Chain A
Amino acid sequence: MSAVRGPGHDPDDTFQFATSPSVRLPRDASPAEKIRLAVALRNEWLAVGLSAAPANRPAAEAAVGRLYEMAGAPPPAFEWAASPLAALGAVRAARSRYPVIQPPRSLVRQHMRQWPVAARLASLQSSLRARLDARIRRAAGDWPDSQAGNPGTVSMYGPEDAIASGVSDRSVVVATVGQSLRWTLADAVAAPLRGALAQAIGQAVEDDELNPGGGVIAFRSQHEAAWIGYYDARRRAGFGGYASADVGELDTWAALAASAGWWWPGEGLCVMAERPVEVHTEPLVGSHHGELRLHCGDGPAIGFADGFGANVLHGTLVPEWVLSGPTPGLIRAEPNVEVRRSAIERLGWDAYLSDGGLTLAASSPDPGNPGAALELYDDLPDQGWGPPARILVVTNGTPEPDGRRRRYGISVPGDLDNPVDAAAWTYGLTGELYATLARRT
């Protein structure tokens, strides 16, 4: 398990993107030099997104004041909360400051001056991103690049090998900075946090209080380091500049992302959430681009000072009972297949299988693994419209120290009826090919 603050650079209270001297590469910097710098900047932004340091309140309030000014509003009063959950409570208590945000369709019929400040800020942000994207597209158009359309080639290599293999630095920076930061901070950190927040207030994630569609708008600041860091790293690593006014705007969003947690802008009042006090991650195994996901086996993977947090096992948001006391009965009652799987891994496959809750569909000898069987079980139905599934129970080729061989289950598509075909599917092979397996250790 990683340290609390994630890898690499650990931003302190003086961390200020707006004022830090920009790193300049020589004009003739090689693609490899540019990528090395971009990766270093990515790691700094990753540390920003995973920071568990107290908020830098003066810096955050100054940045929000500048953003309100850009949106044509006077600087607000501030109320700080220990967590996003506490912040949401403060927003509910000050509901008059938070007019319900209409869907963009209705908003366009009003003059922008009449929009709630949160809507104007959202518009400010999306316009900035559109201008930065347009600039990047134009620059890419100047340098046609046959490999640019193949992110697959980039993802199979580490960034420097990709460059050495002739992939353009422009393609590499998209994968190793843009996609990497987005996957870690937006998909693997902010999304489970949002899920935990929705559960804590007893709402489905789709419901309005957390959503722009009808409720108030939450800005994720620290976790917006994903897009902010991408544009920032591109500029600083020599992938092309932006209009100077846009650089100023980007630096303001950057200063805020580096200073505080989520925030809820209202009329004359802005509720700000502190950063978490603990963040536990693990690397995404086998990736070349530094992605991390939340994971902690003995407490919240991301936790705040007031006790709010998210329990996450290997990236899966799980209820508290999965950590504290999984039982076969609780597992059978759980509708979410990912939660079930996480809970079974905690309980142990032997304990779960010996409980007898699963129905054996088929069994056959395990190729290359003498004395062992492949057993195919019908899985419990998934919630909603998820496709049916089966569980293939396999046996390790090598004994444990106590002489027994560990068994565990692997989820496979429900249309597989033959255990050998199912085992083959897990490695992307046909059953005929897998049946020739010479040895399993």
Chain B
Amino acid sequence: MVMPLMLTTATLADLTARTGLDVLGHLERQVTIPVTDGIQAQGDLLVIPVALLAADPLGRTRRGVSLVGSPRWHAVPGAGVEVLRAGTGGNPHTLVADPGTCRWTTGVDDPQRLALGALRTTGVAYLIHPEHGGSGIAPGTYVIRRQRERSGMTGRPSDFPHAGNPVRYVAD
């Protein structure tokens, strides 16, 4: 199926037709999805322009967030890239874009260990989630972070297998 590459403005109906992904029936499908080059949240994920993270945002560590030296970029295919899927076979956040316009890497050095990865897009890219609908991302480079919460130390392994930090990730 050949679809016109017209993702500059899109509705949920456009995106689901393009990608084969589905969203819950009660979500508004015919309204154009807002596109922003600022910070936006989709449930437990946050999309942040990388420039805003260059300096250490909380002043607690010496480093800001950066891409590693030469990150492994992957082209985002028409079917999209699953950025995060909930634990028990749940709902994924999927990054979609016109083929050839957007790349994705997990090679992000985030001192706070919240970054899932980064996207660099020359067109409008979208995050889609079955319960949260669509989020439109203007051309640019962004980090996608997960959400965390405080955790008691007892009775539960930390969600940071390689750090031992007493916080855990929020899961939708």
Contact = CB atoms under 8 A, between A and B. Distances in A.
Contacts of B107: 156-157, 161, 165
A338 interface: yes
Contacts of A152: 109, 162
A285 interface: yes
Contacts of A314: 87, 156, 171
Given A1-B88, A157-B106, A441 B43 contact: yes
Contacts of B41: 368, 397, 427, 437, 439-441
A286 interface: yes
A314 B86 CA distance: 12
A441 B42 contact: yes
B169 A438 contact: no
Contact of B36 (A295, A397, A438): A438
Contacts of A338: 151-152, 154-156
B68 A438 contact: no
B120 interface: no
Given A289-B161, A401-B26, A283 B42 contact: no
Nearest to A437: B39
A373 B86 CA distance: 25
A413 B150 contact: yes
Contacts of A413: 150
B18 interface: no
Given A188-B157, A338-B154, A430 B57 contact: yes
A199 to B, nearest CB: 11
A164 interface: yes
B106 A316 contact: no
A165 B156 contact: no
Contacts, number: 177
A441 B132 contact: yes
Contacts of A291: 161
Interface in A425-441: 425-430, 433-434, 436-441
Interface stretch (A79-87, A103-111, A137-145, A175-183): A175-183
Contacts of B84: 285-286
Interface in B96-114: 106-110, 112, 114
A398 B86 CA distance: 17
B4 interface: no
Contacts of B39: 368, 429, 433-434, 436-438
B70 interface: yes
A32 interface: no
A285 B169 contact: yes
Contact of B162 (A179, A195, A317): A179
Contacts of B109: 152-153, 156
A192 interface: yes
Name, among A187, A426, A441, the residue most crowded by chain B CB atoms within 10 Å (CB to CB): A441
Given A314-B87, A439-B36, A336 B162 contact: no
State the main secondary structure of chain B at its contact with A. loop
A364 interface: no
B87 A410 contact: no
B116 A153 contact: no
A30 interface: no
Interface in B75-107: 84-89, 106-107
A389 B150 contact: yes
Interface residues of B, number: 61
Contact of A438 (B38, B88, B116, B147): B38
B20 to A, nearest CB: 20
Name, among B25, B145, B157, the residue most crowded by chain A CB atoms within 10 Å (CB to CB): B157
Interface string A285-311: 111110101010000000000000000
A339 interface: yes
Contacts of B133: 398, 441
A434 B48 CA distance: 10
Interface string B46-64: 1010001000011000000
Contact of A433 (B57, B155, B159): B57
B157 to A, nearest CB: 4
A427 B106 contact: no
A90 interface: no
Contacts of A154: 162
Nearest to A165: B72
B147 A426 contact: yes
B17 interface: no
B149 A295 contact: no
A368 B38 CA distance: 11
Contacts of B147: 410, 426-427
A412 B150 contact: yes
Given A155-B162, A397-B42, 12 more contacts: A1-B88, A156-B106, A158-B106, A161-B107, A183-B161, A285-B169, A293-B157, A317-B156, A426-B149, A427-B41, A430-B58, A438-B36
Interface of B: 24-27, 34, 36, 38-43, 46, 48, 52, 57-58, 68, 70-72, 84-89, 106-110, 112, 114-116, 129, 131-135, 145-157, 159, 161-162, 169-171
6 closest Cβ contacts across the A-B interface?
A: A438-B38, A187-B157, A183-B161, A428-B112, A337-B152, A440-B41
10 contacts: A153-B68, A187-B161, A295-B87, A386-B152, A396-B43, A426-B149, A428-B114, A437-B40, A439-B41, A441-B41
